[in-house]
A and B are shown apart, each in its own frame.
Chain A
């Protein structure tokens, strides 16, 4: 098969839109299952997508999630329009969170989002510019 065969999923995620929280991850999971991706890989990709969704909803001014699937890997790109992460090292620490009390009362903001995403990824990258936005890229390999 040709290299360009790829399924690409695109989700718009709005800030503070808890009603749609989980839509991107559950749809991604459905697609991966239909493609016959092994269940542990599917679960990891679903966790990454879910945490990415929640991050955009809770912390950002809105953004999008793109999931590209080919025969070798799943690439998940979560991009938002700000405000940017001031200290990425701190944000990667388990339990560190800048979430407001209001969000924590809803059971979110435990400071596990980014660490969880990294744990489930084979390759993981964060780029953030204050005032402009953050892009998190996760790659999960699909074994032969």
Chain B
């Protein structure tokens, strides 16, 4: 699919052609026709809202399987903070990492200490002086960067050009293992457990970087049963030691946690894709002038609300808060080390992000104007109740599809009824 790889896909067998997903999609990227939904590639931002809302579980995420890890001689697993919210807090973080290791990995690392590295770099480098237009935006949520690139390209200058904590971890760990174990880089496979499909897109079609150290992503939902079984086997143990955590870094799994661990007072923390879109709209208009930092997540609650998780987002959020408060945090790295990382460019984006052109009615402005005039005429004849029966999310979307030859006026059942009754009257 070239430019438009997507981790959210549709299984035609399960799709009933209902209208839940078309209504929920924040970029109006889904249409239903001939009893099946289809996704318009260039509009999709992989937020996973359709996966969450589909009553038939027809929208699926493309993730890697545990089988895929066997392609590598040395297998590393990365555990994001969101996983810890999936289990009772009494289980203990060590056991959760051990249970992941038992899936077939040689070594397992918690991402929380690497979130701390990101926090330190943001605090001690990017938020110092005038390096970034304010509010500076950094998000562990790949949907945010994608939607800014697609719909708010002017805001790209607010985005901190640094890879995600997952990728920071992958880079440091892989480099270390090459030295420590004498493996070639290609022998080492780094897999991260993922709460969402957007992260998959972020490594298949990366933004800002061309070389990735993360090799695959495994859906937490897919391995949840296996992990629970492993945890039962570990039940008799008092505790499992040998892994590093940071309470401060764990907060990154919930909304607001990122700003909190960076230690910024004047921040905006926004969750839920609709809310995020509203805030970006206001930012683009220049209405928000007094904020230092914006963290935004497509899912409600932050990563704990990911569509590939099992536990209720609010329960998971409370658990992570508790774990963050009861787990010790090592000191943040100093300014000297931060500047060293910046100099080596290890975590910097290497590619300039090009704004992606949002799909307009026509590439030619003149033709687009003509098409919009036509769409307005058609819209006057449509009922304006946005029922979705035609397969488009709104009457306006149908009118625009009609002018672009993707739909017909009779797709609207109200128009069809009118036309038939007129024929009936002769």
Chain A residues with a Cβ under 8 A of chain B: 1, 5-7, 25-26, 29, 31, 33-37, 39-40, 43, 46-47, 50, 69-71, 142
Q: Which residues of B contact A43 (CB under 8 A)?
A: 154, 284-285
A5 touches B358 (CB 8 A): no
- Measured as residues with beta carbon below 8 angstroms from the partner, the interface class of chain B is 20 to 34
Q: How far is the CB of B150 from chain A (nearest CB, A)?
A: 10
B362 on the interface (CB 8 Å rule)?
Answer: yes
Q: Which of B284, B355, B361 contacts A34 (CB 8 A)?
A: B361
Report B385-416 residues with CB < 8 Å from chain A CB: 400
Question: With A36-B361, A36-B363, A43-B154 as given contacts, are A25 and B369 in contact (CB-CB < 8 Å)?
Answer: no
A-B contact pairs, 24 of them (CB 8 A): A5-B370, A7-B369, A7-B373, A7-B376, A29-B281, A33-B151, A34-B368, A34-B400, A35-B361, A35-B365, A35-B368, A36-B361, A36-B364, A39-B152, A39-B153, A39-B154, A40-B154, A43-B284, A43-B285, A47-B285, A70-B369, A71-B365, A71-B369, A142-B365
B384 on the interface (CB 8 Å rule)?
Answer: no
Q: Which residues of A contact B286 (CB under 8 A)?
A: 47
The chain B residue sitting closest to A31, CB to CB, is B372
Q: How far is the CB of B267 from chain A (nearest CB, A)?
A: 18
Q: A37–B365 Cα gap in the complex (Å)?
A: 7
Report B336-389 residues with CB < 8 Å from chain A CB: 355, 357-358, 360-370, 372-373, 376
A5 touches B285 (CB 8 A): no
Q: Which residues of B contact A35 (CB under 8 A)?
A: 360-361, 365, 368-369, 372
Q: Which residues of A contact B154 (CB under 8 A)?
A: 39-40, 43
A1 touches B370 (CB 8 A): yes
Q: Which of A1, A29, A34, A39 contacts B366 (CB 8 A)?
A: A1
Q: A31–B361 Cα gap in the complex (Å)?
A: 10
Which of A29, A34, A37, A70: most chain B Cβ within 10 A? A34
The chain B residue sitting closest to A40, CB to CB, is B154
The chain B residue sitting closest to A116, CB to CB, is B286
Q: A1–B371 Cα gap in the complex (Å)?
A: 12
The chain A residue sitting closest to B375, CB to CB, is A34
Q: Which residues of B contact A25 (CB under 8 A)?
A: 285
The chain A residue sitting closest to B362, CB to CB, is A36
Q: Which of B358, B367, B400 contacts A33 (CB 8 A)?
A: B358
Q: A26–B151 Cα gap in the complex (Å)?
A: 13
The chain B residue sitting closest to A70, CB to CB, is B369
Q: Which of B355, B369, B400 contacts A5 (CB 8 A)?
A: B369
The 8 closest A-B pairs by CB, nearest first: A36-B360, A35-B368, A1-B366, A71-B366, A7-B372, A39-B153, A5-B369, A36-B368
Q: A62–B370 Cα gap in the complex (Å)?
A: 32
A50 touches B285 (CB 8 A): yes
Q: Which residues of A contact B151 (CB under 8 A)?
A: 33
B368 touches A39 (CB 8 A): no
Q: How far is the CB of B133 from chain A (nearest CB, A)?
A: 14
A69 touches B369 (CB 8 A): yes
Q: A43–B358 Cα gap in the complex (Å)?
A: 14
Q: A5–B372 Cα gap in the complex (Å)?
A: 10
Q: How far is the CB of A33 from chain B (nearest CB, A)?
A: 6
A33 touches B366 (CB 8 A): no
